[in-house]
Chain A
């Protein structure tokens, strides 16, 4: 599949006829796509069996560039579409790309319920702490006192901690990394694919165009440095006082456990009580 002569070894996974992409220079999406594809390869996944679902926002545009079946849905609702898709055809490896606004604000309810149900989805949540697509508004993960076009005097709200929230809601795998811990991120994406359940990988990412500009961290390098200086590992954070963690990016794994999976449960219920009648692509048949 991979052609070593191509400028980037992951090019064959992309819809080349859609390039160039719309992402800004310095955006974290490129790093994340690379890490995603590497993690996927490391997990030994069959790319042809992957279906991607996304909502609305910069991160949700990623599936549109990937050469696989992709469902670019409504704002915040990707997880509900993905749940239906996975239940409809449990053989598919369903990946969801989402962002902080998409997953945690408008889609917050779907997020906790998909986690609670432990639907076998690999969710990559790109958290850049701002609404990029609409031009830099405050998001539910924006740090307190950060600036945005809708928080011109600094945000007074407390941000969500997504990886922790999803772990608490019932996900069987949840981790957070930044775009600087690429190897850890690749490892978590691999684990996400391997986990037979709801896997949530939050990637704290840089948006120099909006977050950087609004918060006077204008270059990608400056953003990377700020992220790096703010990052602490979970094992360190566990030993720290809560007030000392405020404003820090805690990275690591928040849950990694086994738990019966949603679409398996549905199939099992049917098979155990009524025999094996399940049929993939049943819409194409006249059923008796």
Chain B
């Protein structure tokens, strides 16, 4: 048996675990604006960043927060912000900027009841499509959704690693339940951290080159690269070239492809008992906890049912889901909104199964008994 060396364990809130994950991943700059239910992330980092020589800055709003972390990242520091729906809306323009300039940053969205000010202290998953399409234009985001306090820690580290590996913003789409509840986390001492790679200073280096795998090494400001970074459509050097259809197409396609062509590396899902299941329940984030409870009960009652837990809603893990749910006749999607990831599942699976939505709003975690009822209802006997 493999002996896992445990270095530390804590009984803490999800938001505190997220902050610990950020520090572990090497985050040394946080810029944010207070908003429920994510504020504990800012508060934890305001306390802990100075201890490791890092910088905590409270900005005047969420637009400025997103701007500051992009500036921070080009300054050579892993940078993060945390917010909830209203703040996430405000950040969207600068998120688009981070995509087109290929700036690694991590954004945490602890989702709450919405639209607008909505339900600040209640849980929801209403921002999933905003993470996908919230900024204008074509881009392929990476997003992770934790289902436990441990995962909020793990996925925050993963978000930093993916953002460095693919030079792109990464979202952690958490929710109020995971942000606020306390559970045990174990911090192992063999966690993989991906550092940024400084490019070689030779004439042939181009920061936005159309290379095969799509991701170029990124210099920091002050290292003599004299790099120009712009939100305008730019050539491989970074210079604006806004009227050439080919330059624009090449740039945007490369940005999309560097994520889409690496889905096998990025996408993560977990599944139980789906191979011969008639019914498969698909969920992500906190509702997974309700789904597992319901599926276990249904299995005890003799139902052939399994579940899929999506760890990375974006890019959508279509290949993995198709494979794991290949024998399902009925698929139930459980989420805390009125149907967002449901439409993705419907898009890829409707030819082979009936897709049912169990979308709930109001702020409460889906009730496992209601999921069980649904399983029983569509499961016939």
Q: Which of B70, B71, B78 sits near A283, CB closer than 8 Å? A: B78
Residues of chain B lying within 8 A (CB to CB) of residue A87? 29, 55, 57, 68, 72, 75
Q: Given A73-B231, A88-B72, A113-B60, does the pair A284, B53 have CB atoms closer than 8 Å?
A: no
Rounded to whole angstroms, the CA-CA distance of A18 and B239 in the bound complex is 8
**Interface size band for B:** 35 or more
Within 8 Å by CB of A64, from B67, B79, B239, lies B239
* Contact pick for B77, options A71, A81, A89, A267, CB 8 Å: A89
Contact check, B28 vs A279: say whether CB atoms are below 8 A apart.
yes
Chain B nearest CB from A140 CB (Å) reads 18
Q: Nearest chain A CB to B220's CB is how many angstroms away?
A: 5
A219 to B56 CA separation, bound complex (whole angstroms): 50
Q: How large, as a class, is the contact surface on chain A?
A: 35 or more
Residue of A71, A83, A88, A274 most packed against chain B (CB within 10 A)? A88
Q: In the complex, what's the smallest C-beta–C-beta distance from B259 to chain A, in angstroms?
A: 20
B26's contact among A91, A109, A287, by CB below 8 Å, is which?
A287
User: How many CB-defined contacts (below 8 Å) exist between A and B?
Assistant: 194
Which of A31-39, A48-56, A234-242 is found at the contact surface with chain B? A48-56
Q: Check B221 against A51 for contact (C-beta < 8 Å).
A: yes
**Is B302 at the interface (CB under 8 A from chain A)?**
no
- Closest chain B CB from A60 CB (angstroms): 10
Contact A83 B68, CB 8 Å, known A92-B221, A279-B28: yes
B74: A residues at CB distance < 8 A: 69, 71, 85, 88
The dominant DSSP class at the A interface is helix
Considering only residues 233-288 of chain A, those with a C-beta below 8 Å from chain B are: 263, 266-267, 269-270, 273-274, 276-287
Cα A63 to Cα B61 with chains together (Å): 26
Residues from chain B with a CB closer than 8 A to the CB of A18 are 239
The 8 Å CB contact of B221, one of A69, A269, A276, A284, is A69
**In the complex, are the beta carbons of A74 and B75 less than 8 A apart?**
no
Cβ of A77 under 8 Å from chain B: yes
Q: Which residues of B contact A80 (CB under 8 A)?
A: 59-60, 63-68, 71
Known contacts A68-B226, A72-B231, A74-B231; A88/B73 CB under 8 A: yes
* In the complex, per-residue mask of A1-42: 1 if CB is within 8 Å of any chain B CB, else 0: 000000000000001011000000000000000000000000
Given contacts A81-B71, A84-B68, A87-B29, 19 further A-B contacts (CB under 8 A): A18-B239, A69-B227, A69-B229, A71-B221, A80-B63, A83-B59, A84-B57, A84-B71, A84-B72, A85-B74, A88-B55, A88-B76, A88-B77, A89-B222, A263-B55, A266-B55, A273-B50, A277-B51, A278-B53
Q: What are some 12 contacts across the A-B interface (CB < 8 A)?
A: A48-B224, A51-B222, A80-B63, A83-B31, A84-B71, A113-B59, A113-B64, A277-B51, A281-B76, A285-B26, A286-B26, A287-B28
